[in-house]
Amino acid sequence: MSSSNRITRAIVTYNDRYDFMEGVTHEVCYHYMFTIAFIFFVIS
């Protein structure tokens, strides 16, 4: 029982970490696209 709870907790922690990384990746991508668009706007 306690081992299955430990596994469940590990899976939940892994999912939280994955969601966090996915969110950070999306944030970085959006900032990156915005920066490139801004640079192109300034150049042109």
> pLDDT tens digits, residue range 10-38?
878 887 888 888 888 888 888 888 899 99
Confidence at 43, pLDDT banded by 50, 70, 90: very high
Phi then psi for residue 32, to 5 deg, are -65, -45
Residue found under tokens 């706007």:
41
Whether pLDDT at 42 is above 90:
yes
Q: Which residues contact 11 (CB under 8 A, 6 or more apart)?
A: none
Domain ranges of the chain: 1-44
Whether pLDDT at 41 is above 80:
yes
The gap from C-alpha 36 to its chain's centroid, in whole angstroms, comes to 20
Whether pLDDT at 1 is above 70:
no
**What pLDDT score does 40 carry?**
92
**Separation CA 10–CA 19 (nearest Å):** 14
What SS3 class is residue 10? helix
Higher pLDDT, 13 or 2: 13
